[in-house]
Amino acid sequence: MRFVTVAVLIAIACGSAFAQDSPQDNSPEAVARAQQSVSRLANIQMNWGVKMNSPGASVTVKETSRKSTGQQTVVFYRIFTSGMPKDETYSLVTTPFNLQSMTASDGITLDNSGQAMTSGSPLDLGVVAAKGEPKRFSLVSEDGQSKAFFYVVPFPVKGADHGCSVEELLLLQHAEAVLIQGSGFPDNSTVHMKATSDKEVHEGDLKTDASGNLSTVLLPFVKGETDGTGSVALSSQTCSPSLKYHWGLHSYQEE
């Protein structure tokens, strides 16, 4: 399920947004490496959360406010934990597109309710993001024994219809690869997907899991183009959600 030439696949594997004018390695080995790179990004995003937490640990977040700086909108969240020791000190770690994790805040404690605190006050996590961008975080104790992973999408790209939904998440900054996730469909059923990228059209069937969810990865770059628009429509016997998104060198714009 992809819109991609071999050249663009290799550009993604090398971390480049688009390498139209540079020579590309079209060997089967290079293509395989590119596919592995994209699969790794998708698996990290799909598993980021409860599956990676320490036993019994969990985090929920609550949006509290939004503030415009004139050029960006900062979205603020409060962090609430469960099953994490309250006598530990924690760090908040962020993991961006390049997967190079860095500490965003340290010296964090938990109050009696499990809320994350800093200097005696609730921690206000301020996030700036583009449309469809997941911001990944982890709360990690000083001794490394207690961890909880979570992400927020301040500006989701979604479509909904009759209880079903489809969402697009950026796996790379310029939408060289995007994760498409569907939910609310009948369990263990077939869902038809029609995806377009400019004038290219791809159709196929996807299978939902036992919870009525599905996921797939699209690489929407079109050979010879640096920017464009993609769309995804999912259809089943009960619902047909759809969405549109932008990809390309100029597509990443913080809201």
Helix (H, G, I), strand (E, B) or coil at 59: strand
Q: Using one digit for the tens of pLDDT, what is the confidence trace for 44-101?
A: 999 999 999 999 999 999 999 999 999 999 999 999 999 999 999 999 999 999 999 9
Q: What pLDDT shows up at residue 26? A: 57
* Bridge partners of residue 84, in order along the sequence: none
Residue 8 above 50 pLDDT?
no
Helix (H, G, I), strand (E, B) or coil at 219: coil
Give yes or no for a contact between 178 and 171, defined as CB atoms under 8 angstroms apart: yes
Give yes or no for a contact between 89 and 141, defined as CB atoms under 8 angstroms apart: yes
Residue 107 above 70 pLDDT?
yes
Q: What pLDDT shows up at residue 29? A: 78
Q: What pLDDT shows up at residue 17? A: 32
**pTM higher than the cut 0.75:** yes
φ, ψ for residue 108 (rounded to 5)?
A: -85, 135
Q: Which two three-digit tokens encode residue 193?
A: 């997907």
Q: What pLDDT shows up at residue 6? A: 26
Bridging pattern class, strands 58-68 and 178-183: unpaired
Whether 6-47+156-248 and 54-152 share one fold: the answer is yes
Give yes or no for a contact between 91 and 103, defined as CB atoms under 8 angstroms apart: yes
| Count of positions (residues) in the chain | 255
Beta-strand ranges (E) seen in the chain are: 58-68, 73-82, 90-95, 102-110, 116-118, 121-122, 125-127, 135-141, 147-152, 157-161, 164-170, 178-183, 190-197, 200-207, 214-218, 227-235, 242-248
pLDDT classification of 31: cutoffs 50, 70, 90: low
CA-atom Rg of the chain in angstroms:
20
- Over residues 95-114, the mean pLDDT reads 96
Q: What pLDDT shows up at residue 177? A: 93
CATH of domain 54-152: 2.60.40
- Over residues 175-180, the mean pLDDT reads 95
Give yes or no for a contact between 142 and 187, defined as CB atoms under 8 angstroms apart: no
Please give the class, per CATH, of domain 6-47+156-248. Answer: mainly beta
Residue 124 above 50 pLDDT?
yes
pLDDT classification of 28: cutoffs 50, 70, 90: confident
Question: In the chain, pLDDT over 70 holds for what percent of residues?
Answer: 89
Residue 165 above 70 pLDDT?
yes
Q: Using one digit for the tens of pLDDT, what is the confidence trace for 16-25?
A: 333 333 334 5
Greatest extent of the chain over all pairs of C-alpha atoms, in Å: 59
Residue 33 above 90 pLDDT?
no
Mean pLDDT of the chain: 89
* Domain spans of the chain, in order of start: 6-47+156-248, 54-152
How far is 198 from 231, CA to CA, in rounded Å? 9
- Over residues 196-216, the mean pLDDT reads 94
- Lowest-confidence pick of 166-170, 175-179, 219-223, 227-231: 219-223
Residue 32 above 50 pLDDT?
yes
Q: How many CB atoms lie within 10 A of CB 214?
A: 21
- Over residues 142-165, the mean pLDDT reads 97
